[in-house]
Chains A and B, each alone.
Chain A
């Protein structure tokens, strides 16, 4: 369950779970989150929560709604977003990540069947009414997703791992938080090459990109790839293959070590790692 943490001047005042589809924020008492401050409009903003996605929408407030320093009209809330209303701050905290193994299952492709969607029409209608406007269509779909997913899990269709999801029929495929972002590439030393011969002798080239091509197109080209395991050189085109430390490399990528000497299209260069 996502929640908001209300604070002022760094002091946490309240934690508000986003249990409702529509959570209103404003100065007037009928709001779900009432903030009694003149900088806050009577009906200031609303957070629409569909399954695990929460959307913040400004309701034409006088002083506007700011998320992470940027004024917004509508915003798809991400974990740790800071919503500013006058002197008050609301921090959005998404759901905690489940076990990685569980996630892998949920990422499997599933189909939303039109028939399942129809069956979910009533449920969707209620949601659409609540969400209103542009969100209606998606809310409808979202309800259909929920329905489709639950029928899929129950009937053992469409989901690649029906057996695993079956014990929790209503739950799972829809209630997983976003797949973990691509893990950051492990820190690795930056590689560079220095030309030792030819017109540009002495020149240094840092290998910051995942791919760097070297050589003369049409004559001989090789590519240096930057991978988590290190740097590799691969022959791309040309009758002759590049040499590393005097040895002609094969068709497969060749791992480069610090201070390897490369010879390519008649030019000698040295590969080295920067500390």
Chain B
């Protein structure tokens, strides 16, 4: 039996990047905001002190910062003919947990997605014709454009203090930046990171190949920075413990460094941690959210009434919460109807690892999650896809993020997996390897989707989310094409041996690939084909707004945090300037 609490103005479910941005912006608009977070409170000096944060075993291997599968997991299958089984240890992706969410343990690669990405369907049809698009695709535009989001991208970058070099200032291409990026109104807030040996070598090789490499826009900061909220960051020390770790040096942009110092001081804000939201409660007619129900660590259920509910959990868990709450019609792959669960997408990863002679020393232990050089020639629609025969693209990057002792031990193909020969190869190659990686788009397809599992339940007796996914032929073509480019680059860098890393066989949930899951509760321009309108407002329940990558109708060749942050500001503006003066649907259905 749940106990009812006094009402609040806004409930935020999940206190990560989007939850903290929306909470602070709405507190500043005068609202009382209650954030409910499943995991623990986390702060820089108390939880990630520099003396204990760089612990590969605890964080990288034992997944200390991630959600425990016993708390919440999902079931997985490659296609509808299989029976999905629960994931009992995270592999392919690592959902965050606790205050700061994935914003704590990310690498900090911060992109504005291409203008093309937001109109990927109509632009592809226009250039290549509808017949060129892959079989069974569910491609559709976002309903919002790059031009509309430009200011929001800018605000997120200045919140974080992103280190980078502009490639396109108000339409003028800038030397040293990404010439393919959409126009930006001003330069990055801080200068690019200092490059290490491997990215430098890659940049030289890329130029020889006729590409235009540029520094990875980075949330590991090149210099000290004070953001518009007054929060401060210190320069990165290149310690090589970003991904899967919290940063003890205040050098990585995160909710902890960029928002929470001011948010926790705001009298309108309250956080409840270690409380799991199990349901968004609806009015009898289902047209209005009345609040949420959550369960605390003692097992007590509480009802928190609220005028506005913002779902800011990780992509997968936002989708599950919608399904558990009966918000939006669940997607049915048999008919193609319904909206919640459709357009689930992932990313193509891989690349080429090169092994070099004795004249090269890369010192991989000098690294950071976003120290690297990128080539964007084969991403989005930056090249002619006609001869390539697929839709989408990939960014190629040389980012030597770490030389951590347990997992960073690349050896050339053919080396035994253990024993004296493996030890010798490890010793010889630890400092003499460099990789060029790719991050490739995945289009939405009829058969890749999320729904509730018919069999497996969580600790509260609620059905787990079920993921049905595999890489279609279009993405496999992209993988082969982009890995070929990576191999060219590594060869041009002078490697004597090159290992290809590419998709083979069905998508495998076990080896880590990317925590860039997207879709399932997408934004769009029509209620029949999307969960929210262009303002991230749920069509059917206008006092519920969504945040995060669940809104993306496709997945691109870049990391998703840039548009995730931009859409949070976009939604905050819409709530404050459009919804609050006149609560109701912001776009007529």
Genuine A/B complex: no
